[in-house]
Amino acid sequence: MGQLGAHFGQEVKALRLERGFSQGQLAEAAGTSEEWIRRIERGARSPSFDTLEAISGALGVTVARLFAGYGNTPAALHERLLFEIEGFNEDQMRWLEAAAKLLRNVPR
């Protein structure tokens, strides 16, 4: 499988671990097998649309989130950052804004 499949598998794994799920727990929640989740995470297999929906639902994210930030373009970087800050509270957002302003002044 290509780079997109590998990226997708890495995103699934990262979100699964972030939520404290084992591969078996994710498989059960998504209605698929643990072996299938392993193959997807390794980038060895491509899931069907139905499986994409089931995995995203089990992880509590959109299907788009599972593909977010693919590539090395400025737009992909912005997309990854937006998903990283999703769910931040007001204090965290103020801190992040202040940090971004400080980073603008750092020599490149």
Evaluate if residue 1 carries a pLDDT over 70: no
| Under 8 Å between Cβ of 23 and 37 | yes
Q: What is the reported pLDDT for 25?
A: 98
Tally of domains in the chain: 2
The DSSP output letter for 106 is S
Do 81 and 37 reside in the same domain of the chain? no
Do 20 and 37 reside in the same domain of the chain? yes
Residue 29 to residue 64: CA distance in whole angstroms: 19
Range of the domain at 24: 1-67
* The pTM of the whole model exceeds 0.75: no
Can you tell me whether residue 67 is helix, strand or coil? helix
Q: What is the mean pLDDT of the chain?
A: 90
Do 84 and 57 reside in the same domain of the chain? no
Evaluate if residue 95 carries a pLDDT over 70: yes
Q: Count Cα neighbours of 1 within 13 Å in the Cβ-side half-sphere.
A: 16
Do 58 and 91 reside in the same domain of the chain? no
Residues whose CB falls within 8 Å of the CB of residue 24, separated by 6 or more in sequence, listed in order? 34, 37
